Amino acid sequence: MWPYIFQKRLSANKIISRLGIHYVCPWCVVSTTSEEPDGHWSHTPLRQSEPRYICEGCAQDIYGTCNWENFYDNPYHDLVEEAAKKEGLTVLEFRVICLLHQIEIYETDPEWGIPEYLPLKEEILNLITSLKNQ
């Protein structure tokens, strides 16, 4: 899996207390807060409607895949295409939002703002530029 920048995960209990109900990941429709109480969840701007939470598996597969330069060679690219379709976005729009979100996390979470991660941030910025020129 290609490295990607991710936010601090939220526990299932946090999701339940925020929403007041158990929650099913809208993308895989497999992960739930009831079956995986220790599961970790992410809040993502890729979701075009509330609630904007996705499971850790989807976050990993989809955020990592969006970072692949040769996106269509990635075995998970169909997952990204399905999620984009569910959100009513083109794959290109979806990838750009995903990459911009990673830059936002990098800029706001001090844990990422160390020299070790700078090359990853630069790769993502280059990818955003090349996608916007498509």
Selected from 10, 16, 24, 28, the binder of Zn ion by CB under 5 A is: 28
Q: Is 42 one of the binding residues for Zn ion (CB under 5 A)?
A: no
Tell me if 76 sits within 8 A of 28, measured CB to CB: no
Q: How far is the CB of 61 from Zn ion (least distance, A)?
A: 8
Considering the complex, state which of residue 28 and residue 131 has its C-beta at the smaller distance from Zn ion.
Answer: 28
Applying CB under 5 A, the span of 28-36, 43-51, 80-88, 95-103 interacting with Zn ion comes to: 28-36
Selected from 4, 5, 31, 61, the binder of Zn ion by CB under 5 A is: 31
Q: Is 15 one of the binding residues for Zn ion (CB under 5 A)?
A: no
DSSP 8-state class, residue 42: E
Q: In whole angstroms, what separates CA 61 from the centre of its chain?
A: 8
Q: Is 55 one of the binding residues for Zn ion (CB under 5 A)?
A: yes
Q: Is 103 one of the binding residues for Zn ion (CB under 5 A)?
A: no
Tell me if 32 sits within 8 A of 40, measured CB to CB: no
Considering the complex, state which of residue 61 and residue 96 has its C-beta at the smaller distance from Zn ion.
Answer: 61
d(C-alpha 48, C-alpha 87), whole Å: 6
Selected from 5, 46, 58, 124, the binder of Zn ion by CB under 5 A is: 58
d(C-alpha 42, C-alpha 4), whole Å: 14
Q: Is 25 one of the binding residues for Zn ion (CB under 5 A)?
A: yes
Cα–Cα distance list, 52 to 34, 36, 55, 59, 95 (Å): 18, 18, 10, 12, 16
Give the residue among 80, 15, 66 at the shortest CA–CA distance from 41. Answer: 15
List of residues contacting Zn ion (CB under 5 A): 25, 27-28, 31, 55, 58
